[in-house]
Amino acid sequence: MSLPTNLKYTKDHEWTKTDGKIVSIGITDHAQSALGDIVFLELPKVGRELKAGETFGVVESIKAVSDLYSPVTGKVVEIHQALADEPGKINSNPYESSWMIKVEIKNPSEVEALMDSKQYSEYVSKLS
């Protein structure tokens, strides 16, 4: 799957999409593939204040449990409940439509510091 060029990426294999002050967060194709068949998604409550690097939820495949990390500081303004109801959709298309939470950020530089698609692609290719 080719990486969307309009997104920014983290070393923990999350992607972010910025729309003004609102940042959507999901997991990358590499992450969903490593996890396998996703059967559970736990999301935070709307209104929760997140710090960059903090766990905001949990995604589980049949055999694996993985924490979800927020790469940005801000307030959760929306959660994707329909995705939590059908988390298998993350496997079929992890980007855009499989956003998990939307965070209202204060500091845009946190997003700017993340990897672009080219950098993330190189980062993934170096992981064995």
Partner 1 sequence: MSKRTALYDEHVALGGRVVEFGGWDLPVQYTGLADEHKACRTAIGLFDVSHMGEFIVEGDRALDFLNTLVTNDLSKISDGQAMYTAMCHESGGIVDDLIIYKRSKDKFFVVVNASNTDKDFAHAVKIKKMFPEFASVRLDNDSSNYTQIAVQGPRATELVQSFSDQDLSKVKTYWFTEGKFSGEIPCFFARTGYTGEDGFELYVPWDMGPKVWRALVEKGTPMGLKPCGLGARDTLRTEMKYPLYGHELDDDTTPLESGLAWVTKLDKKTFIGKDAITKKKESGIKYSLIGLKALGKLIPRQGYTVHDGSDRRIGLVTTGTFAPSLGYSVAIARVESGFAKVGTKLKIKVRDNFLDVEVTPTPFYNKEKK
Return the closest-CA partner of residue 98 out of 17, 35, 34: 17
Give yes or no for residue 58 binding partner 1 (CB under 8 A).
yes
Give yes or no for residue 62 binding partner 1 (CB under 8 A).
yes
- Rounded Cα distance between 126 and 120, Å, is 10
CA angle 2, 34, 52 (to 5 degrees): 85
- Rounded Cα distance between 27 and 91, Å, is 10
Give yes or no for residue 37 binding partner 1 (CB under 8 A).
yes
Give yes or no for residue 45 binding partner 1 (CB under 8 A).
no
Window 88-127: residues binding partner 1 (CB under 8 A): none
Closer by beta carbon to partner 1, 39 or else 77: 39
Min CB(74)–partner 1 separation in Å: 22
- Rounded Cα distance between 85 and 91, Å, is 14
- Rounded Cα distance between 29 and 94, Å, is 6
Min CB(64)–partner 1 separation in Å: 9
Give yes or no for residue 22 binding partner 1 (CB under 8 A).
no
> What are the residues binding partner 1 (CB under 8 A)?
36-37, 39-40, 42, 58, 60-63, 65
